[in-house]
Structure 1
């Protein structure tokens, strides 16, 4: 086939200069008939590249396509090379073609898949492998009151399915804990997830819609490898599917207000409720949502082997009593850390106080709502048991219940030492309410010892009487009256002889 430059030359020489076909053919070194053909040609239709059939490669293309789609769910270091795919085809499928043919096909197919991924508007439309996330709120009955708690929903637009979990707050730790739980339940990670501009994920929205992410969310995304998208400010309709699922899950599973005693138990039940809902027929596709869900999950990313540590690490300085302020709440450390810096690991449900070697000193349940202070007594009581005189000057004395303040105030130094050791021991298995009750019971007959308090605690723990009457089946002999001298010994021996 002639080049465009040659065709232009032929047409110019023949049609504009009037040269003969023969002359031009000699000058371009082509056949005279070829010159005539291009000089006289009226139309230049687009040349379509013919697709050559390749029976050997065509037979294994579906296999290569499935391998490529599998590998795209993995990190690059875990993806197979074209050479490895060729080897597998030879060993497992008896492939007779060349390695070069496989390399060429793998390269072109990868480019096609890349373009498909870039061109798709994934989360807004119902594409496979995508998800949307948002928080909702619902009322719960807890400790005799009605409280509002947030619940996190992840919905899957392609299949119209969803998961949801209830949390004590909408903070970063709760968001990431919820996402991680759902990934674990799925056994995979959605390829693309759309969010509203949640403050746990977005620190600031800059000009032209660029977002500055929170550090934890950014590291979470890197760990799991999904792509994220955010709605435009004030455009909640851009995540319309998850908003519908928030309303649906609240109306069908969280109303009227549920009685809440254990949040973990409730969340375990919610997995099953959501999955049972998948058995509905899709409103548009007229197929079971569970079937569609499997198709969508097939496009997900592989779940990493290691879980992400959904914890915020920070430093805090303890006050003179050894308390640190975390999110406007007080948590105790240890007396030796009073007015010193400590590391704090903040999880959605727990606060861990760490020393300079990142070793855990003490753990607290994380406080929410009106709770303002959490005290773990063991570190204080163990130290004070060694130095009981220091109790009134430590700041700990003021935090003790009034019953124990009064008892320690009336005790000797040795009694204080024994009582503080007992408290340090029993606080691992009991509350101050139970220990107060034991102290009051033991004090009914006067100022008790630490051992008497222990006995009272054990009796109350095992539902036993503190003091029991001694029962005997034998009659106790009556002893003679005590008199001066040794004659009463003779009387005692006479009694033994009679018996």
Structure 2
């Protein structure tokens, strides 16, 4: 339990410890799932500086599908793939035999006093994990080894030479087959995520990572979202939109731009431009054509062109496209002042003389009088 963004949050913490040096590392997650387990190994081996040749585990459901007699285990396929990736041997304890991994059991008990009392107060889960990593390294230097001279850090500096090299991180996702809804959404854990409109009513593959989800179709990643969690049933489910996914829809139906939920999350410059354009006849279609520019050009450049047009007080499609091409080509945005040639210099400055209009009025009155 810890406090994240002012809210008490229950966490699942992965503990990894080297048997010889007793160097340890912790990483916190919101759930205890396969993708969290794989991510914990990636970070643990990075922090510990290498991969041990053997790992001892309890019979957690994320690793073992079925516990047999004695040491017989039906190991999860994805867990086996991770073990093969890092090239170490996985062993599992007997059920209800905590003494077989006594070091890690003691580490869990010690961590309650060293790290979780008082409760950390952090702005995000990422900040908590950064703090845990730093604090664990500090404890290595501050804690004596016990059976070897020096601190845990001293003995770890000896052990690291015997660890296997850390390969590239294991791509530890969990994959689900999904069908995109007619409203271009897929469901995961009571939440919904948008998908490009061209994939509506089509099957896609949803790859779940600890902090994000990736949607794959036809062998290509088509979009990515930050993963959101709705852990309690009293919280409403969330819909995560990417307004770019719905551009193909509003190109056919520009009126959907006015009240479409996905477009409520556009950048402020686009929202301000929309308020100007929707006051004009045909403003819906003009706004859609401007938004569609992000499909061919860098979105940040398009945003800059829109901001410049708003600052100049000319929020029109023609002016924005002109500014966009100037930004892309590197052409100066302001027109330089061209000095007039000497031959065109005025010798006599014209003077305003409104009395001439009075003469015209008198001549007109004279004609009417005659």
TM over 0.5: yes
Q: C-alpha distance in 2, partners of 1:384/1:480?
A: 59
Which of the residues 143, 148, 155 maps onto 2:5?
Answer: 143
CA 1:278–1:407 in 2, change beyond 3 Å: closer, same or farther?
A: closer
Instruction: Please say if 1:287 is aligned against 2:150.
Output: yes
CA contact (8 A) 1:422 1:450 kept: no
Instruction: Give CA deviations for 1:190-211 in whole Å, capped at 9, x if unaligned.
Output: 1111112222212222344522
Task: Tell me the equivalent position of 1:85.
Answer: none
CA contact (8 A) 1:384 1:420 kept: no
Residue 366 of structure 1: CA displacement? 1.0
Residue 246 of structure 1: CA displacement? 2.0
CA 1:175–1:479 in 2, change beyond 3 Å: closer, same or farther?
A: farther
Task: Tell me the equivalent position of 1:239.
Answer: 101
CA contact (8 A) 2:214 2:224 kept: yes
Task: Tell me the equivalent position of 1:379.
Answer: 245
Residue 228 of structure 1: CA displacement? 0.9
Aligned residues: 306
Residue 227 of structure 1: CA displacement? 1.0
CA contact (8 A) 1:153 1:162 kept: yes
Task: Tell me the equivalent position of 1:298.
Answer: 161
Which of the residues 33, 42, 52 maps onto 1:190?
Answer: 52
Q: Aligned-pair RMSD on alpha carbons?
A: 3.9
Q: C-alpha distance in 2, partners of 1:372/1:348?
A: 17
More relative contact order, 1 or 2 (CA 8 Å, 6+ apart): 2
Residue 179 of structure 1: CA displacement? 0.7
Task: Tell me the equivalent position of 1:311.
Answer: 173
**Secondary structure at the residue paired with 1:302?**
coil
Task: Tell me the equivalent position of 1:70.
Answer: none
Task: Tell me the equivalent position of 1:114.
Answer: none
Instruction: Please say if 1:414 is aligned against 2:276.
Output: no
CA 1:320–1:249 in 2, change beyond 3 Å: closer, same or farther?
A: same
Residue 288 of structure 1: CA displacement? 2.4
Task: Tell me the equivalent position of 1:367.
Answer: 228
**Secondary structure at the residue paired with 1:315?**
strand
Q: C-alpha distance in 2, partners of 1:142/1:424?
A: 38
- Alignment TM-score, normalising by the size of structure 1: 0.53
Residue 413 of structure 1: CA displacement? 6.8
> What pairs up with 1:78-477 in 2 under 5 angstroms?
138-139=1-2, 141-279=3-141, 280-304=143-167, 306-358=168-220, 360-369=221-230, 370=235, 372-380=238-246, 382-389=247-254, 391=256, 397=260, 401=264, 414-421=282-289
Residue 318 of structure 1: CA displacement? 0.5
CA 1:293–1:210 in 2, change beyond 3 Å: closer, same or farther?
A: same
Q: C-alpha distance in 2, partners of 1:482/1:242?
A: 102
**Secondary structure at the residue paired with 2:145?**
coil
CA 1:343–1:482 in 2, change beyond 3 Å: closer, same or farther?
A: farther
**Secondary structure at the residue paired with 2:56?**
strand
CA contact (8 A) 2:173 2:208 kept: yes
- Alignment TM-score, normalising by the size of structure 2: 0.69
Residue 487 of structure 1: CA displacement? 6.2
Question: Where do 5+ consecutive residues of structure 1 fail to align?
Answer: 1-137, 430-437, 443-447, 456-476, 489-499
**Secondary structure at the residue paired with 1:154?**
strand
Q: C-alpha distance in 2, partners of 1:247/1:425?
A: 57
CA contact (8 A) 1:419 1:450 kept: no
Larger Rg: 1 or 2? 1
CA contact (8 A) 1:312 1:347 kept: yes
Instruction: Give CA deviations for 1:107-151 in whole Å, capped at 9, x if unaligned.
Output: xxxxxxxxxxxxxxxxxxxxxxxxxxxxxxx31x23332112222
CA 1:424–1:211 in 2, change beyond 3 Å: closer, same or farther?
A: farther
Q: C-alpha distance in 1, partners of 2:314/2:38?
A: 50
Instruction: Give CA deviations for 1:23-54 in whole Å, capped at 9, x if unaligned.
Output: xxxxxxxxxxxxxxxxxxxxxxxxxxxxxxxx
**Secondary structure at the residue paired with 1:183?**
helix
CA 1:480–1:233 in 2, change beyond 3 Å: closer, same or farther?
A: farther
Task: Tell me the equivalent position of 1:91.
Answer: none
